Amino acid sequence: MNKQKIETYRETMDAAKEVLGQMAGLEIFQRYATGKSNGCLITVPDFHQNFATNSQGLRQNLAETLNQLRSIATVDSNLLDLMLITRRLFKDILASKIYTLPLRTDQLELRQPLSQPMTDYFISTSHNTYLMEDQLKGRSDCLAYEIALKKNCRCVELDIHNGPNGDPIITHGGTMTSRIRFEDVIKTIKRFAFVASEYPLILSFENHCSLEQQDKMAQILTKHLKGTKQNIIET
């Protein structure tokens, strides 16, 4: 694939994402957007009063709403410092657990028995979770795991390879995608694993590491996941 084709692909995907982003929740967004921004921004005070309080019925102060927004944000979070919400951030808000609560709180409980074989369940699964862009030259980032987990993904993939200085890395093998540290990914997963869902989280390892670096992987998993909700099942 030559450079021109890669750039064309990226431009096409960027354009598609922008169009889809504008369509998703656009009508609701514009209902609360400020006229001074030509319908492109919502101020946090307006969001708090008109959407969180009046529309959603939440009983909290402005500071609590702002903290919620910071916990939800995966894009444009820097604009929250200016008390502004973009369309992309509003899309995150609409998809968040906080603002999509069912009418009955008892529906939040895990009601489906988890005693059946894994193959009997539909599981929200992510492939090549670490990639933020394409699979040839794309960027790998821990943020990709945060985004997937905040969207209720219950199975994330880690392609693990030997890294420098005995430190395992995650990357798409045989390509020019960038690399991230296995330990950094595990720390991200620990932080966001059960933010959006209490259902079990599956870590799918595509393991290409030497025995020495597999030992390092085990040390990292024990260090960061020991004492949490993990239950390691050999397959």
CATH fold label, 118-225: TIM Barrel (3.20.20)
Q: Is 172 a residue of the active site?
A: yes
> Could you list the pLDDT tens digit for every one of the 235 residues in the chain?
444 444 565 666 566 555 555 555 677 888 888 766 677 899 999 999 998 888 888 888 999 999 989 988 888 888 999 999 998 888 888 877 777 655 445 455 556 677 888 888 889 999 999 999 888 889 999 999 999 998 889 999 999 999 999 999 999 999 999 999 999 999 999 999 998 888 899 999 999 999 999 999 999 999 998 876 555 554 4
Verdict on whether the full-model pTM lies above 0.85: no
Which of the residues 48, 161, 172, 224 is marked catalytic?
172
Q: Is 127 a residue of the active site?
A: yes
Q: Which helix (H) or strand (E) holds 158?
A: strand 155-161
Which of the residues 127, 161, 208, 224 is marked catalytic?
127
Q: Specify whether the CB–CB gap between 44 and 69 falls below 8 A.
A: yes
Residue 148 to residue 140: CA distance in whole angstroms: 13
Whole-number Cα distances in Å, 60 to 9, 48, 55, 90:
45, 9, 13, 19
Residue 228 to residue 211: CA distance in whole angstroms: 26
Where exactly are the structural domains of the chain? Answer: 15-101, 118-225
